[in-house]
Amino acid sequence: MKEIGVCGEHAGRPDRREPLAERSPSGANGLRVLPQVIVDTYNEELRDEEGFVGDRASGRAFGAILDDWRERVAASLDEDPFGDTPTGRIARPTLDKVLTGTDTVAAGLVHTAIEEFAHELATVVRRFLRLEGWRHTERIVIGGGLSSSHIGQLATGRAQVLLAGEGASLELVPIGNHPDEAGLIGAAQLAPPGILADHEAILAADIGGTNLRVGIVELDGKNAGSKATVWKMQHWCHRDDKPTRDEAVRHLAEMTTKLIQRSVEAKLALAPFMGIGCPGLIDERGAILNGGQNLPGNWQEDGFNLATTLAERLPRIDAHVPAVVIHNDAVVQGLSEVPRMKDVARWGVLTIGTGLGNARFTNRPHA
């Protein structure tokens, strides 16, 4: 996979079996029944007296825990191992290196933060397992940005041990693909089978509270259930630019158009389809009903529809208006794991990012 355009393309052969130009670009959003899985539930917003339960196991939560322990250590030893660098500015690879470095105080500090975070993660998992839609879950995939780091993987392993010590017959496993790519690869599961049969790749986007990624997902065997890979990707850290909603959508369209052009140049058979993952509860029209508060601007405003708004800004692909389908970002990231989840019946995903995304799936028997 080659990444182009940091944080800143031959359109596909026509599907001759279906009149895609006549299809609504937002006709299959937020589906619960997909070709290979049933989405039992997603975007659950559990609350307790302190607020959203999921916030206790988010990327922000880990940062707050680390910040708290830094203050305690500095107050006791008159020195912070990380100096004056704000916790939010310490890159995860830096924390990973600290764990195996010679500064034992810094390593101990990070290990302590991981331990506390693991307890919070285990607590959140317990709460989800009490929900009707999460009962009998056999495996939970841990995704999101934190999962790609060593600290995230240690926290996952420690939470697994804590749950196993209580007798829970549940696996916690890190996501198989890099989280930056999983949120794109899973979009292949949203594509109509007819499109996949006659094309080599699809467009995909992953819209988060901090980053926006757009890519072309190449299909192996032209089957969503087989191994898919990200062929090209563009990344924009929109948090740094603080765009309005319309500016963000315009930039998304520009990034997507560039990728379409790249596919034309490479003579790649790109399908007139784009799958998008974004936070929140998505209705059948493609509207974000709730949960989009971390996105730039008001994406939940009545009358705003991302699917139709974006489709209008994209060039036609082989004379077809691209069909844009939207689903929850945790659902889409989880869908990237479908090929690896054939040995269990019921499984879920928790994505540790700006917030904590969640989705639970049941494999369809015939898939």
Domain chopping of the chain, boundaries: 2-41+178-339, 47-174
In which residue are the tokens 């299909």 written?
Answer: 219
Q: Name the nearest CA neighbour of 9 among 347, 278, 315.
A: 315
CA 33 – CA 157 distance, rounded (Å): 31
Mean of the pLDDT values across residues 45-53? 78
Q: Which residues pair with 229 in a beta bridge?
A: 218
Mean of the pLDDT values across residues 146-153? 92
Give the highest mean pLDDT range of 21-35, 44-58, 77-91, 293-307.
77-91
CA 125 – CA 140 distance, rounded (Å): 9
CA 285 – CA 29 distance, rounded (Å): 6
Q: Which residues contact 55 (CB under 8 A, 6 or more apart)?
A: 61, 355, 356
* Amino acid letter for position 48: D
Residue-level pLDDT at 12: 34
Token reading at 175: 């996501």
Residue-level pLDDT at 24: 37
pLDDT tens for each residue of 101-127: 999 999 999 999 999 999 999 999 999
pLDDT confidence bin for 8, thresholds 50/70/90:
very low
Token reading at 312: 């209008």
What is the CATH T-level fold of the domain 2-41+178-339, as seen in this structure?
A: Nucleotidyltransferase; domain 5 (3.30.420)
CA 348 – CA 356 distance, rounded (Å): 13
pLDDT confidence bin for 221, thresholds 50/70/90:
low
> With contact defined as beta carbons under 8 Å apart, do 57 and 358 qualify?
no
* Average pLDDT of every residue of the chain: 88
Long-range (24+ apart) CB contacts under 8 A made by 149-154 are 149/92, 149/93, 149/95, 149/96, 150/95, 150/96, 150/99, 151/62, 151/92, 151/95, 151/96, 151/99, 151/110, 151/113, 151/114, 152/92, 152/352, 154/99, 154/114, 154/118
Please report which helix (H) or strand (E) contains residue 282, including its range. strand 281-282
Residue-level pLDDT at 25: 41
Q: Which residues contact 65 (CB under 8 A, 6 or more apart)?
A: 113, 116, 117, 120
pLDDT confidence bin for 2, thresholds 50/70/90:
very low
Mean of the pLDDT values across residues 247-271? 95
Is residue 151 pLDDT above 60, yes or no? yes
pLDDT confidence bin for 223, thresholds 50/70/90:
low
Token reading at 110: 């990070």
Torsional sign, CA 145, 45, 295, 188? positive
Higher pLDDT pick, 291 / 263 = 263
Residue-level pLDDT at 286: 86
Distance of CA 82 to the CA centre of its chain: 30
pLDDT confidence bin for 73, thresholds 50/70/90:
very high
Mean of the pLDDT values across residues 223-233? 79
Q: Which residues contact 75 (CB under 8 A, 6 or more apart)?
A: none
Percent of the chain topping pLDDT 90 = 68
CA 185 – CA 187 distance, rounded (Å): 5
* Gyration radius (Cα) of the chain, Å: 21
Specify the DSSP class assigned to residue 33. B
Token reading at 4: 């182009």
In which residue are the tokens 């901090």 written?
Answer: 210
- Phi, psi torsion values for 301, nearest 5 degrees: -65, 135
pLDDT tens for each residue of 346-362: 999 999 987 889 999 99
Class of domain 47-174: alpha beta
Is residue 5 pLDDT above 50, yes or no? no
Phi-psi region of 353 (alpha: psi -120 to 50; beta: other; left: phi over 0): beta
Token reading at 269: 């058979």
CA 187 – CA 334 distance, rounded (Å): 10
Is residue 224 pLDDT above 70, yes or no? no
pLDDT confidence bin for 47, thresholds 50/70/90:
confident
The model's pTM: 0.87
pLDDT tens for each residue of 324-354: 999 999 999 999 999 999 999 999 999 998 7
> With contact defined as beta carbons under 8 Å apart, do 357 and 366 qualify?
no
